[in-house]
Amino acid sequence: MPVPLPDAWDADWVREAALALETASDAPVPAAGKPARFVRPASPRVVLGRELAAALAGRLPVNLRDQFTSTAAFAEGDDPVRWARRTSALLDLIGNPTGVLSALGKAEQRQV
């Protein structure tokens, strides 16, 4: 069974996030300042993806925010719609575990 559940996302958030990511530039922008030589250039799209993930993480308990932000990291080349659906579904998995637990209870058992 797929985890997170394939249809457990917030459609409005997914639509808005995907649109924002699709319209953001994917041209890398070099970092500025002294530590710039140690930082890989990131595109505005990647930066926006990080900001969107961090905003969602803000809805979680403090002890889960960093892990969620890391897990939901947007990378260059990711499909914006697919990323937004997965990220929203991960948030739903944490905030509403009863849906996945119910699906697990109905799933066919098999030997692994």
In a domain, 78, yes or no: yes
Q: What whole-number distance in Å separates Cα of residue 60 and Cα of residue 91? A: 8
In a domain, 37, yes or no: no
In a domain, 31, yes or no: no
Write the secondary structure of 27-73 as one string of H (helix), E (strand) and C (coil): CCECCCCHHHHHCCCECHHHHHHHHHHHHHHCCCCHHHHHHHHHHCC
Integer angstrom CA distances of residue 100 from 37, 72, 104: 44, 19, 6
pTM as predicted? 0.77
Nearest CA-CA partner of 84 in 54, 53, 107, 108? 53
In a domain, 57, yes or no: yes
Q: Flag whether pLDDT at 81 surpasses 90.
A: yes
Q: What whole-number distance in Å separates Cα of residue 88 and Cα of residue 85? A: 5
pLDDT band at residue 40 using 50, 70 and 90 as cut-offs: low
In a domain, 87, yes or no: yes
Looking at residue 10, its amino acid is D
The domain total for the chain is 1
In a domain, 4, yes or no: no
Query: Which of 17-31, 32-46, 78-92 bottoms out in mean pLDDT, i.e. has the lowest?
Result: 32-46
In a domain, 83, yes or no: yes
Q: Which range of residues forms the domain containing residue 57?
A: 11-25+42-96
Q: What whole-number distance in Å separates Cα of residue 57 and Cα of residue 77? A: 22
In a domain, 111, yes or no: no
Q: Flag whether pLDDT at 33 surpasses 80.
A: no
The answer to whether 55 touches 87, Cβ cutoff 8 Å, is no
